[in-house]
Amino acid sequence: MSVIVFAGAAQFAAVGYVASGLPWPGIILLTFLLNARHLLYSAALAPWLRSVPFTRRVVMAHVLTDEAFALTISHFRRLGQRDEWGYWVAAIAVTFIPWNLATMAGVAIGAQIPDPARLGIDIIFPAAMVGLAVGLITGRRELVAAIVGAGIAVAVALVSSPSVGIVAGGVVGPLVGLLVPRAVAHETAPLGTAASAEHYSMPGIHVEPDGSVDPPEGSDR
Amino acid sequence: MTTNLVVLAILMFAVTYPSRAIGLLTPGFDMLPKIVFDYLQLVGPAVLAALAAVSVMVVVSHDDVPSFHIGIEWVAVFACLAIVARKGNLFLGLVAAVAIVAIARAAGLAAIPT
């Protein structure tokens, strides 16, 4: 799954729900909703990668993640031009390979843990989901979407089923979030922007909204 | 991983890849109405929050009846949320959440899920 899907939040969700017996259509719909944000990343990178041959862009798309986007867009902005090798390093060497190595380590070691519920391992899934959600909240619209999404999900889950509740929260929450006027949204780092790239990028990299990049402290530049 | 889960992974790929590819492979995709991008921006937080809330607050009995649940899991998830919000460190948040639940269950203050 780490090779074929290569999407952390969706994999966490899928593993949790496969274990709890959620039907596949629900898992697939949740995967679609969770990964829809990648549309923003590909749209933001499109102007930089327009001249890359189509076949290579087909492969580039598969390894486009939150982290790859952040590292790449900040790298391109720092250079002021496209650097295809930079994309491959960010997406494969820095992200794809470590993610899959860590997955294999988990498969090898995870089965050795006796009685995981006693150790509280089951809390990792909801805690990880909350932690990842916090990372995506960059203004009041996201906050409202998250709170309303959670509330609707629980309410609907109690009268139908958890899978229906989650989909309802994921679809309706953003609609309510859009009702927050832009003037009071206090958006600080919309996905697909330089500010968002800084949010996800490596420590020490600072991306200005105008595209300039401050060097890390202590560097010679 | 069983063969079944490989099929599931392929289906998950089938609904993930288009989101990543459309922008890179479709000329002019970045010209779509802003409201579409605004909506997409909000989907991630809403879905993740919905997943977490349902995982912690809803339990399903053996006869498939969902019910509201209050437990130590709320404290653990809130602690993780607070740590990630203040420190920006998800790993630290997860360690804290696991520790809270493990200690509470070891002390007999919380039930171990069956």
pLDDT per position as a tens digit, B84-113: 999 888 899 999 999 999 999 998 888 777
Residues B111 and B84 in one domain: yes
* Number of structural domains chain B divides into: 3
For residue A212, pLDDT beyond 50: no
Cβ(A34)–Cβ(B19) under 8 Å? no
A45 chain-B contacts, CB cut-off 8 A: 23-24
* Contact: B47, A169; criterion CB under 8 Å: yes
> Exposed (0-12), middle (13-18) or buried (19+): which is B103, by Cβ within 10 Å?
middle
Backbone CA torsion sign across B18, B21, B27, B32: positive
B99 and B85 within one domain = yes
Any CB–CB contact under 8 A between A64 and chain B? yes
Query: Alpha carbon B43 to chain centroid distance?
Result: 12
Together in a domain, B108 and B74: yes
A214, β-bridge pairs = A206
Q: Do A153 and B80 touch (CB under 8 A)?
A: no
pLDDT confidence bin for A217, thresholds 50/70/90: very low
Q: Are residues B74 and B114 in the same domain?
A: yes
Indicate the pLDDT class of residue A219, thresholds 50, 70 and 90: very low
Instruction: Give the closest residue to B84 by CA, choosing from B73, B95, B72.
Output: B95
A117 in reach of chain B (CB within 8 A): yes
Tokens of A177: 């979030």
| Most confident by average pLDDT, A65-79, A82-96, A205-219, B29-43 | A82-96
What's the confidence (pLDDT) of residue A197?
64
Residues facing residue B60 across a β-bridge: B66
* pLDDT value for A199: 62
Comparing A61 with A195, the larger pLDDT belongs to A61
Over residues A159-187, the mean pLDDT reads: 86
Range of the domain at B47: 33-68
B75 and B63, same domain (yes or no): no
Alpha-carbon gap: A212 to the closest alpha carbon of chain B (Å): 22
pLDDT bucket at A220, cuts 50 / 70 / 90: very low
Residues of chain A positioned with their CB less than 8 A from the CB of B15 = 28-29, 31-32, 35
Q: How confident is the model at residue A110 (pLDDT cuts 50, 70, 90)?
A: confident
The answer on pLDDT for A211 being more than 50 is no
The predicted pLDDT at position A214 comes to: 42
| Averaged pLDDT of chain A | 82
**A37–B19 C-beta distance less than 8 A:** yes
Closest Cα partner for A137 from B43, B51, B52, B54? B43
Residue range B44-73: average pLDDT? 88
* Same domain flag for B62 and B74: no
Q: Sketch the domain layout of chain A as residue ranges.
A: 1-110
Residue B101 vs residue A43, higher pLDDT: B101
The shortest C-alpha distance from B17 to chain A (Å) reads 6
Which amino acid, residue A144? Answer: V
| pLDDT tens-digit readout, B5-39 | 899 999 999 999 999 999 899 887 777 788 888 88
Residue in the structure block whose two tokens are 């498969």: A107
HSE (side-chain half, CA atoms, 13 Å) at A213 = 24
